[in-house]
Amino acid sequence: MLRLLNLELQKLLLNKTSKILIGISYILPLFIILLSSFKIPFFGFFTLELGELGVFNFPMIWHLVTYFSAHFKLFFAIVVVSMIGNEYSNKTIKQNLIDGLSKKEFILSKFYTIIFFSLVSTLIIFLLSLCIGLYYSSYNELSIIFRETEFLIAYCIKLIGFFSLCLFFGMLAKRSAFALAFIFVLFLIEWILYLVLWKFSSEEMATNIQNFFPLKSMYKLIDIPFLRIAATKMPDNQEFIHDYAVHGHEIIIVIGWTALFILLSYRLLKKRDL
């Protein structure tokens, strides 16, 4: 595993564009989150400090930070599809196989790289959230601090699942731009199917089925936290009552899609004439 991971990391770190995109995928969410923890004056009329609103309190901060950080996954998604596009355009995939790397090892090297960067991203988000939370949070009991850290697990699974989808589309299209276009097309297809299901059944049934779709199931892992934030200010308002927890069955669905995407990527490579 380490040999395959090291091989892939060398390829990425020797590519200037990949290094820039990887750096952006880590630095930009850190910058946004840190900026949100500062006092922001609005033309002298008022000063906004999110920390004073309680959004960085434990355990809510795990939910808030993982939700927003996940939106920056597109930058590393470009790296993932570029990994495959460069292999085909530079014909290094054929050379790797000639040098003794099996097709299974080739796919695993990409998958190990996805897992590695997802784990690194999760670790960074954990440390950043912990530091901001310790500074702003009104609670300092360990039981409260580490409550709901399952959002970090959901965040990591979400990244691995999405990047595995990018890997599959990269193998399918062989070109980075087409692979990203396929993701957008999949997004449209999911919503069209949802509207069709809604028309011929009910909204509840359509939503339940949609939650099994690839992109929707990944998104559903970490629900939008705005209503939860509002609920802390108006706890008696019934409109804000919602289940924000990370559920095991949602994680299993995404893991299932991840396994399928990796398997399909391998099958594509195995059958393709290089």
Confidence of residue 183 (pLDDT cuts 50, 70, 90): very high
C-alpha 151/C-alpha 160 separation (Å) is 14
How confident is the model over 260-272, as pLDDT tens digits?
999 999 999 988 7
Domain spans in the chain, listed from the N-terminal domain onward: 2-271
Contact present, 159 and 121 (Cβ < 8 Å): yes
How confident is the model over 140-178, as pLDDT tens digits?
888 999 999 999 999 999 999 999 999 999 999 888 778
Report, in this order, helix, strand and coil percent for the chain, each rounded to 5.
75, 0, 20
Residue 233, pLDDT score: 60
How confident is the model over 16-59, as pLDDT tens digits?
888 888 888 888 777 766 666 665 555 555 455 555 666 788 98
DSSP 174: S
Residue 46, pLDDT score: 46
Instruction: State the pTM of this model.
Output: 0.90
Residue 177, pLDDT score: 79
C-alpha 51/C-alpha 136 separation (Å) is 6
DSSP 71: G
How confident is the model over 72-124, as pLDDT tens digits?
888 888 888 888 888 887 777 777 777 778 899 999 999 999 999 999 999 99
C-alpha 225/C-alpha 84 separation (Å) is 35
Highest mean pLDDT among 91-95, 111-115, 132-136, 199-203: 111-115
Task: For residue 97, give every residue at least 6 positions away whose Cβ sits within 8 Å of its Cβ, in sequence order, or none.
Answer: 103, 106, 274
Burial 182-220 (b: 16+ CB within 10 A, else e): bbeeeeeebeeebeebbeeeeeeebeeebeebbbbbbbb
Residue 208, pLDDT score: 93
